Amino acid sequence: MPQNEVVEGLDLDRYKYHFITEDEPVFRSGRGLNEKVVREISAQKDEPEWMLEFRLKALKIYNAKPMPTWGGDLSNLESVLDQIYFYVRPQDKMERSWDDVPPNIKETFEKLGIPEAEQKVLAGVGAQYESEMVYHSLKEEWEKKGVIFDSIEDGLKNHPELFREHFGTVIPSADNKFSAMNSAVWSGGSFVYIPPGVELDTPLQAYFRVNQEQMGQFERTLIIADEGSKAHYIEGCTAPVYSTESFHSGVIEIVVKPGAHFRYTTIQNWSNNMYNLVTQRALVHENATMEWLDGNLGSKLTMKYPSCYLLGEGAHGSVLSIAYSGDGQHQDTGGKVVHAAPNTTSQIVSKSISKGTGRSTYRGLCQVHEGSVNSKSNVECDALLINDTSRTDTYPYIEIDEKKSNIGHEATVSKVGDEQLFYLMSRGMNEEEAMALIVRGFIEPIAKLLPLEYAVELNRLIELEMEGSVG
């Protein structure tokens, strides 16, 4: 993407997260999760038999697994899950052209600034509205190169062999309770394939959005970056604010084949009543590179630890994350790197900001298997506390079974100090402006890696969050 291009029209302000578009879903499942719901979803999607079986098996695993007792507070979750709809489909067919998108859905996108953004920079947009992809465009040159950027449903229909070869191989249903749940009821998400040697300069972008009250969103994304390819996928989300609790549980699987280079960027700004429990993992093969860039700003509770499994010699993985917790929010985030081959390298950089009664937890795992000689890993987690009531915790798990490896860990906690505030205010900034500038500086090492319009959006969101930060 051209770095000097100024993007306008993404001036998100707070009210934009409160709007609700009236619409009538074509199909809605009953409340709660059971076999009937799973069968209905599969039938609605007209899926092959193997997928129905996959879903039903996952449902059994889900029911058998206990709720996690670590991480954030999930004690209220069971009652939330009994109340939500596990599947909603707003319209029947996929749309490819913007003109064909129904007006009320378009209105929602317009409020999000997508059309303007598209005119300026966005090359290909896959936007998930509720549980289905309704709008999907892809630059012609990519199609010519053989790149597949589809909804996950179309991926299954149109590329059955490629799909089945990789689906569920990175994150098995039994990985954890929520990956099992997602495997049973997944709906929406992207299917991406980058052919060998193909390099994309412009990021693939998917906007998606939860709109239906009390609707769970279970997006599933499968990405295969074939040998020597290079690409960047960006997912950004906002959700309107509702009074009842909501739930999101995604599964993102990525296969990075030998010599490929893949980056996955997320800026997530769920409404503050959302449980956001996401499993995302990449298998990184010989001399391949995987980079997770993860920004978590919203939600009531987020539990998310992007992972890199370094399976081939010379593989590199990095997880860079920013978490922001405001009043009543808990961000339990971090990263996982598993070194399972010699000469593999990894990096985790995690920065968290806690404001008011917000709580940020860094939870990370660095594992080096025996035989993964000359592996190197560096973990750095920095926490910034805005108020005396803010909280941060660090849980860095390190498991080393190979002596010939080099693992570094560094953690800092800082509090915005009176002297620092005085310095900025003595230059004419008010307390909120000063606070926002300090926070922007704190996340700058990660924010600078974002495409321009996302960096602008992130800064704007942080400014909004810092409003009223002054006691």
Partner 1 sequence: MSDSPILSIKDLHAKVADEDIDILHGVNLEIGRGELHAIMGPNGSGKSTLAKILAGHPGYETTSGEVLYEGEDLLELEVDERAQKGVFLAFQYPVEVPGVSIANFLRTALQARLGEGEEVDLFDFQDELLAKMEILDMDPSFAERSVNDGFSGGEKKRNEILQMAVLKPKLALMDETDSGLDIDALQVVAKGVKRLQEEDPDMSVLIITHYQRVLQYIEPDHVHVMIGGQLVRSGGAEVAADLEAQGYEQFKTPATG
Q: Which residues bind partner 1 (CB under 8 A)?
A: 418-420, 422-431, 433, 437-438, 440-445
- Beta carbon nearer to partner 1, 224 or 322: 322
State the minimum distance, in angstroms, from the CB of residue 423 to partner 1: 4
**Cα gap 92→209, rounded to integer Å:** 18
Q: What angle do CA 178, 181, 185 make, to 5 degrees?
A: 140
- Beta carbon nearer to partner 1, 313 or 431: 431
Report the Cα 391 to chain-centroid distance in Å.
23
- For 376, the 3-state DSSP assignment is strand
> Which residues, 6 or more positions from 306, have their beta carbon under 8 angstroms from its beta carbon?
264, 280, 281, 282, 292, 294, 319, 321, 335, 336
- Beta carbon nearer to partner 1, 200 or 466: 466
State the minimum distance, in angstroms, from the CB of residue 463 to partner 1: 11
**Cα gap 246→376, rounded to integer Å:** 40
- Beta carbon nearer to partner 1, 279 or 459: 459
- Beta carbon nearer to partner 1, 441 or 468: 441
Output the six-digit token pair for 201. Answer: 């300069």
State the minimum distance, in angstroms, from the CB of residue 34 to partner 1: 50
State the minimum distance, in angstroms, from the CB of residue 347 to partner 1: 18
State the minimum distance, in angstroms, from the CB of residue 429 to partner 1: 5
- Beta carbon nearer to partner 1, 301 or 435: 435
Output the six-digit token pair for 374. Answer: 């000359």
State the minimum distance, in angstroms, from the CB of residue 420 to partner 1: 5
C-alpha closest to that of 389 among 360, 430, 431 = 360
State the minimum distance, in angstroms, from the CB of residue 270 to partner 1: 26
**Cα gap 51→53, rounded to integer Å:** 5
Cα–Cα separations (whole angstroms), residue 251 to 43, 178, 188:
21, 9, 11
Q: How many CB atoms lie within 10 A of CB 33?
A: 22
- Beta carbon nearer to partner 1, 202 or 420: 420
